[in-house]
Structure 1
Amino acid sequence: MDMSMDGSMALTSGEMLPYLHFTPGDMLWFMGWVPDTTGAMVGTCIGLFLLALVERWIAACRAVIEAHWNQRSQIVRADRASGKLPVSTRPDPKHLSSSSSSIATAASTVTMRGAPPFILWHDLSRGIVHAVQSAIKFTLMLVVMTFQVSFIIAIVVGLGVGETLFGRYTSIAEH
């Protein structure tokens, strides 16, 4: 980068201005993606708006799925505590003596652990969704680091609209 520029700073293809600006020509994620026309800027802003909207939708889906898994886990815990265990896990009454049945009853009333059990499908799904959501957040962060105000406004408005549309699902899931 030539540091001997004087006066106005010319933005060549792919160079970033180190301050907030509306000047087109910032590199967006790849060297080949440099929106430098008005149409390209508008299209990029629409795409960033939609990407921010998708990020909020994924957050809502994740919260709803977590709430569903939590509810199912509580049902299983309640069934185990009340003795409504699945047939395969019930002890055979013919093999129990009176002392062992009292031990089994005491064991069933013991408080279950606080953390939900590890269920491969649930935890694998949770990890994948979190990784996708984090990748989108980092991608949006990289766009904000271009200091292009049009991009920042598109992202902020997209996140706001997404929260307006999908935020009620995350708030319901938390309760």
Structure 2
Amino acid sequence: MSGMSSMSMVFTTAHNTPLYSKAWTPTSTGAYAGTCIFLIVLAVLSRLLQAWRHTLEQKFHDRAIKRRYVRVAGEQEADQFPDESPEAAKEKNEQAILSYRGVDEKVRVIKASSRGRETTPWRFTTDLPRACIYTVQAGLGYLLMLAVMTLNVGYFLSVLAGLFVGELAIGRYASPVDDHH
């Protein structure tokens, strides 16, 4: 036990607790207050990113559902929609598309199925922004976690205050089941 570090495992109210590095050690009450304000803004930004990501996910999903596929008439309906009722397939076959040459019964436009929660195909325009936003969101979460792990009461309360303000301001746009850091 004599080899353990001297890190305190209790909450502290010291105004000179380093944040993220020894270079970021508040040396005055004003610097400490500025650090706490920074943590509040960081936590609000974390909630903002979560809400933005949820909004983008909804747009990505809506775009995938509304995406249209051209199908040449004559293909077997059962091949494309094996679990569909014969009445619904017949109704779809009776539809035609109006082209610049008039009614074209050989080509139809169908929407992607919205049944269940099907996996959409990988798309660069969807999955790259999703991955970038998630990475930044996770990074902010880890920075907030590191601030809380200093066991400084002011830092801890600042993170909680920022999350509260962020949730109060924009929480209605975030998914209720998203992960909390």
1:36 to 24, 27, 40: 27
> What is the identity, as a one-letter code, of the residue corresponding to 2:78?
A
Greater than 3 Å deviation, 4+ residue runs:
110-113, 171-174
Aligned equivalents of 1:141 and 1:156: distance in 2?
A: 11
2:63 to 72, 95, 98: 72
In structure 2, the CA distance between the partners of 1:107 and 1:114, relative to structure 1 (3 Å rule), is: same
Per-residue deviation at 1:16?
5.2
1:133 to 132, 137, 146: 137
Per-residue deviation at 1:173?
10
Per-residue deviation at 1:171?
4.2
Q: Deviations over 1:101-142 (max 9, x none)?
A: 252x32333465821111112111111100000000001111
What residue number does 2:41 align with?
A: 50
In structure 2, the CA distance between the partners of 1:172 and 1:30, relative to structure 1 (3 Å rule), is: closer
Normalised to the residue count of structure 1, the TM-score between the two structures is: 0.73
What residue number does 1:170 align with?
A: 174
Aligned equivalents of 2:82 and 2:128: distance in 1?
A: 29
Structure 1: 5+ residue runs without aligned partners? 4-14, 94-100
Aligned equivalents of 1:102 and 1:32: distance in 2?
A: 68
Structure 2: 5+ residue runs without aligned partners? 84-112
Normalised to the residue count of structure 2, the TM-score between the two structures is: 0.71
Whose strand proportion is higher, 1 or 2? 2
Aligned equivalents of 2:8 and 2:176: distance in 1?
A: 42
After superposition, the CA RMSD in angstroms is 2.6
Aligned pair count reads: 143
Aligned equivalents of 2:75 and 2:46: distance in 1?
A: 53
Per-residue deviation at 1:22?
0.8
Per-residue deviation at 1:36?
2.8
Whose helix proportion is higher, 1 or 2? 1
What residue number does 2:80 align with?
A: 108
Aligned equivalents of 1:152 and 1:49: distance in 2?
A: 10
